Structure 1
Amino acid sequence: MPARRTYPVTGILACVLGISLFNPGFTTQVWGQGDNPFRKEPVKRKSVRKPPPASRPAAPTTPATSATKPVNVPVPPASRPMVNTLGMEMLPLRFNGQVLYFSRYEVTQQQWYAVMGNNPSYHRGDTMPVNRVSLEDVLQFIETLNQLERNSSFRYRLPTVEEWEFAARGSGSLNLDAAAWYQPNSGGRPRPVGGKQSNGFGLHDMLGNVWEWCAGGFVRGGAYDCPAEQCGAGVGHKESPQGRDSSIGFRLVATPVAESRRQ
């Protein structure tokens, strides 16, 4: 058997290079930059994807979840309060994705008289909260007010218990003496609205002064003759729809007409 011949490495390289030069159809192996000591290849840069033209609609984004976007928060400051023909200032709050306008103060005796033409209150004073009104009386007031403001884009109603409690909690807790007229500081009678510090939503007298009617016959918040433990956002009880008491009044919620029709 003939002896096996060996070829030097340089000879093999020369052979391959010669074939590549004189035979275009032959393709040699392409080495990477780190493998081929005779040739340095340019480093390939990653292509950058250009943004779509301005005319192309942007891809839809994933809606924020309740974990990243709270539902029950005040509406942005750009949303302005609404003032009705009675001078009630209604502040916008967002509750469960809906904008509700809460009256900044409890309904006063002057406002009640402007709508109903009478004043049933036991403790009298134009700027004091109307009191000694039953749930039936309040619903009649709301019906009459909505009729008077039928050309408005809002409709009035009582808040639900859940809406009221959300509004009463505001954006934090307040010192009760600073925020409420109650047994230790009221002098045994309700006081003019707005005399105490507002809560984080800008609402006054949510605690103390007079109990406030909510939908369904519930009252919330405590009153001028209540001890501290009865003046809280989650404190209340149910009253008879015909019941009248000098420690019970109310405040209103206004909703846009389109929202009101869906309720």
Structure 2
Amino acid sequence: MRSPRLSVDPKLLEPIADRAWPAAEQFRMGGWRLNASVGFSQRINACWPLGRPSVAAPRAIEAVERWYAARGLPPRFKLTDRAVAPRTLAQQLEKRGYRPANRTLVMVGPCRGEADTGVLLEGAPDPAFEAVFTATAGGNLADARERLDALRRIGPPALFARIEGEAGPEAIGASAVEGAWAGVFAMRTAPDHRRKGLARRVLSTLLHAAGGEGATRAYLQVEANNAPAIAMYEAAGFSTAYTYAYWTTGA
């Protein structure tokens, strides 16, 4: 049974999450945050409409479409539970042919973990960390490069964890700390080393280290259909706080 949702205001957490996974290019249109990179990671290639735009919504939507078209990217809107402005935006997007996809859970839990001497911690992704990340990218090297670039842009304090085996690196994870919150990202395990509990060790070490940086709560994003990952995070004390979906014309 899944844990009950925690009371977390997405209007407070979403800006932190936006800063934690920095896009290559960012633009503000009032309360709308426009992010653009290469085009793979949806969070850094989408408009986050967290507050009122600087112009009326129909004109703002058109401006977003022009902004992404100028960069050779499809327009994409990240609509988050209880944090969409204006509230009628979903209906307006639907009339323009947009549809939701990729429902994602934002899970929140305590920074409660244990140090593990078998998990190495660094302040930046090193070649071994990058090797695991690239090996788990499904053969899409451009996608891996875009996400690694985002990881390199995380401001301090940033934490990069890695388990090193006899034959090389086996599992990785990263965390971005801002105030009382720690974001967990890039949880990857090399294909030959899955189902060994390595991800749990990485997560526990990251949470412990983030607590040492002053964080008391952690958050992460996981696709709603990723049952194994959700179960692991629930076992670590995480529960779903809210959800979001990406709206595009190609859904």
Do both proteins adopt the same fold according to a TM-score greater than 0.5, normalized to the shorter chain? no
Normalising by structure 2, we get a TM-score of: 0.24
Point out the structure with the larger helix share.
Answer: 2
**Higher RCO (C-alpha under 8 Å, 6+ residues apart):** 2
Rg (Cα) greater in structure: 1
